Structures are given as structure tokens and as C-alpha cells.
Amino acid sequence: MNIINARNLACPIDGKPLQQDAKQWFCEAGHSFDIARQGYINLLPVQHKRSRQPGDSKAMVIARTGFLDSGIYQPIANTLSGIVLEQMDDMTEHCLLDAGCGEGYYLDTVVNALCHQQRADKVAYIGLDISKDAIIQATKRNKQVCWIVGTNRQPPLLENSVDIILCLFGFLSVQGFNQVLKPGGKIILLDPGADHLKELREIIYPQLKASRPADITETKIPDYSVVATETLRFNSRINDNEQINHLLLMTPHFYRASKQGRDIACHLQTLEITVDVVFRVYQKKPVLSVESA
Ligand SMILES: C[S@@+](CC[C@H](N)C(=O)[O-])C[C@H]1O[C@@H](n2cnc3c(N)ncnc32)[C@H](O)[C@@H]1O
């Protein structure tokens, strides 16, 4: 597959197209952004930050890499790759954005899966996360992806320039995504199902709460419909205290759990887990042609 460079980066300050030279990206108004030694671009100006070090901490990033590299979530990555392939109907000049890509495990798997397919030609891959530590880690996974530090609230991309957005266990910003997604483009959401990691949650919380993931069709932006849904369930056993700690630290449960619950989980040597996740594919209303209008 012929991976192409992202040509739709936009200045996070004025929204103008960015151009690249050897060392930096710049817009016509003279705002410039250096390409870091590791190859990523920081497009998160200080006025878009809500804290000094937004997003996942270095410790969370290291824990997530450690856990994902164990392969336990490989079936999730494989199912995701299959869904992306199915949803890429027109195979030319695609732009695929992983919004809240973390340390890049899923996007790397998708890129590799599509590389083995002759059908998918000319795709530009962008991985975006607000955590600089996550993006630095992601640059080690894949050099073909354009890795960007930025926010899902205002993705630093041109309007109507993205074909597929992945939001995987991530921070959903319907407004931000809607701005950059082409008409007819798709958003693939991955969320925990009701039983996801229930064994761990039973240990760390006094009572289990059922959560319902956000539904884009219920937001103020009415132009979306669900075009596919898929549930993936499987069980696994973790026989390694370090991996159990990685799992705990990479989820929001680490901060929400009681200290007592966390202490019990931290000392476990073995843990059975149920993985229960739901993929939903939303499509933005295409522009109607004159004949069909
Ligand atoms: C639960 S992690 C999921 C990471 C990755 N998608 C995965 O499944 O491995 C959520 C990620 O969203 C990022 N994040 C949080 N707020 C964000 C925002 N406003 N814009 C972009 N990324 C954000 C965090 O830094 C973190 O990497």
C-alpha cells in the first residue's frame, strides 16, 4: 500500500492550511510548529490546554503499552481492522484519523492490516492525542503515521477533510469531529460494554454501576445515523501481577476506585477478565446530488 503524507493539517491558531519544510510546519500568517526529534508535531497551543500536562500521564502510557503488548487485546485490534476495511468503500485518497490515539497500538495494527491488503491504496494516517507522552510513545510504534499532539475539541485539520475517524475508549467530541469529517464520512466508536472487566470492577468498587456510552444521534448535531454495530466478547486469564497493575493503571478505574479496592487489586497474582466491547459506526449525512435532491 502506498501511504501518503497528510495534506490536511491546519494551523491550530487561525485554521489556515499548514505547509511543511524540512524542520517545521507553517501557515501563511507565519505561525510555525517545529517537527520534534521523534517526528511528531505539537499543534496544541497553550490557549487550548486546560492543564499544564493534559491527557494521560507518562506512567499511564507506559502501563498501556505494557498491557497492550501482551496481546490480550489483540482480538479487539483485529476486529477493528476488519471494520475499517469494510467501511472504506471508495479506496482512493483516504484520510483516517485516530482521535485520542494514546500510545498508538490500535492505529499501528490498522495500518499494518491495511498494508497487507491490495485494495487500500493512498491512505494518509493521522494519530492525534492531547498527551505528549502518549504521542512520543506512538512515534516508536509506527513511522508511517503523522503523529500530532492536539485536542479532539478542535482537531488541527482542515474542515471536511477526513474520511474515517476512530475514537477508541477515547474522548468523544462530536462538534470537533463533525467539523473535520467529510459529508458521508464515518466515525467508528469503541466503548466498553456492560460486562467489560467486570471481575476487576467487582474487586475495586463496592457496587457496580451500569454505564451507557454516548450516542451521537442524540446530540445537537443531527446529521448522523448508525450504519453498523458489532459486539466482541471473550475471556482471558492474567497470571502476572505486573500486567494486572498495568491494566488497572491504564483505565480510568485507577483514579475512581477506593484506596482499599485499589490495594487489593494491586496485590493480585491472577485475574480472570471478561472483555466486552461494542463497536458502532456512524455515518455523516452525504451531500445530496442535484438529481437525488
Ligand atoms: C483511555 S485512553 C485510550 C487511548 C487509545 N485510544 C487506546 O484505546 O489505547 C484515552 C486517551 O484520550 C486522550 N485524551 C484525553 N482528552 C483528550 C482530548 N481532549 N483530545 C485528544 N485526546 C484526549 C488521553 O491522553 C488518552 O491517551
Output the residue whose Cα is nearest ligand 1's atom 9. Answer: 102
Lowest mean pLDDT among 85-99, 184-198, 220-234: 85-99
Task: Report CA(131)–ligand 1 centroid distance (Å).
Answer: 7
- Closest ligand 1 atom to Cα of 100: 22
pLDDT at 61 over 50: yes
Q: At what angle do helices 241-250 and 259-266 cross, to 10 degrees?
A: 150
Helix boundaries (H) for 145-240: 174-180, 198-204
Copy the grid coordinates of residue 119: 485494495
Cα of 140 vs centre of ligand 1, distance in Å, is 17
Residue 251 Cβ contacting ligand 1 at under 6 Å:
no
Q: How far is the CA of 124 from the centre of ligand 1 (A)?
A: 20
Low-confidence winner among 76-80, 138-142, 249-253 (lowest mean pLDDT): 249-253
CA of 9 to the centre of ligand 1 (A): 20
Amino acid 120: pLDDT = 57
Residue to mutate, 152, 197, 254, 255, ligand 1, most ligand atoms under 8 Å from C-beta? 152
Amino acid at 75: P
Does the CB atom of residue 55 touch ligand 1 within 6 A?
yes
Entry pTM: 0.95
Q: How far is the CA of 20 from the centre of ligand 1 (A)?
A: 26
Q: Closest ligand 1 atom, CA of 153? A: 19
Strands 32-34 and 19-20, by their bridges, are unpaired
The pLDDT score that the predictor gives to residue 104 is 98
- For the CA of 168, the closest atom of ligand 1 is 6
CB 88 within 8 A of CB 164: yes
- Residue range 277-293, pLDDT digits in tens: 999 999 999 887 666 54
12 lines ligand 1 (CB under 6 A): no
Residue 55: which residues within 8 A CB-CB, separation 6 or more?
Answer: 129, 130, 131, 132, 133, 134
- pLDDT digit string (tens) for 147-164? 999 999 999 999 999 999
Quote the ligand 1 centre to 159 CA distance (angstroms): 22
Nearest one of 79, 132, 129 to 109, comparing CA atoms: 79
Asked whether the beta carbons of 226 and 279 are under 8 A apart, the reply is no
Identify the pLDDT of residue 218: 82
Tens-digit pLDDT profile for residues 230-274? 999 999 999 999 999 999 999 888 888 888 889 999 999 999 999
Query: Is 61 within 8 Å of 100 (Cβ atoms)?
Result: no
User: What is the average pLDDT value for the chain, to the nearest integer?
Assistant: 91
Nearest one of 247, 255, 169 to 205, comparing CA atoms: 255
CA atoms within 13 A on the CB side of 118: 0
Q: What pLDDT shows up at residue 292?
A: 53
Nearest to 107 by CA among 160, 52, 169: 169
Instruction: State in Å: Cα 24 to ligand 1 middle.
Output: 25
Identify whether the C-beta of residue 227 lies closer than 8 Å to the C-beta of residue 186.
Answer: yes
In b/e form, how buried is each residue of 178-216, taking b as 16+ CB within 10 angstroms?
bbbbbeebbbbbbbbbeebbbebbebbeeeeeeeeeeeb
| Ligand 1 and 247: CB distance under 6 A | no
Higher pLDDT, 53 or 112: 112
> Rounded distance, CA 108 to CA 119, Å?
18
Residue by residue, DSSP assigns 215-276 as -GGGSS---EEEEEEEEEEEEEEE--HHHHHHHHHHSTHHHHS-HHHHHHHHT-S-EEEEEE
Looking at the CA of residue 152, tell me the nearest atom of ligand 1. 20
Question: Which residue CA neighbors atom 12 of ligand 1 most closely?
Answer: 100
Ligand 1 in contact with 105 (CB < 6 A)? yes
C-alpha cell at 220: 445537537
**What's the grid cell of residue 136?**
512520543
Q: Is the CB of 191 under 6 A from ligand 1?
A: no
Summarised one tens digit per residue, pLDDT across range 7-25 is 999 999 999 999 998 889 9
Residue 83 cell numbers, joined: 471494520
- Whether residue 25 contacts residue 18, with contact meaning beta carbons closer than 8 Å, is answered with yes
| CATH number for the segment(s) 19-208+216-284 | 3.40.50.150
Is residue 1 very low, low, confident or very high in pLDDT (cuts 50, 70, 90)?
A: very low
Task: Indicate the range of 74-88, 106-120, 146-160, 165-179 predicted with least confidence.
Answer: 106-120
Our answer on whether the CB atom of 170 is closer than 6 Å to any ligand 1 atom is: yes
What are the C-alpha distances in Å from 94 to residues 63, 104, 172, 259?
Answer: 32, 19, 21, 46
**pLDDT reported for residue 232:** 98
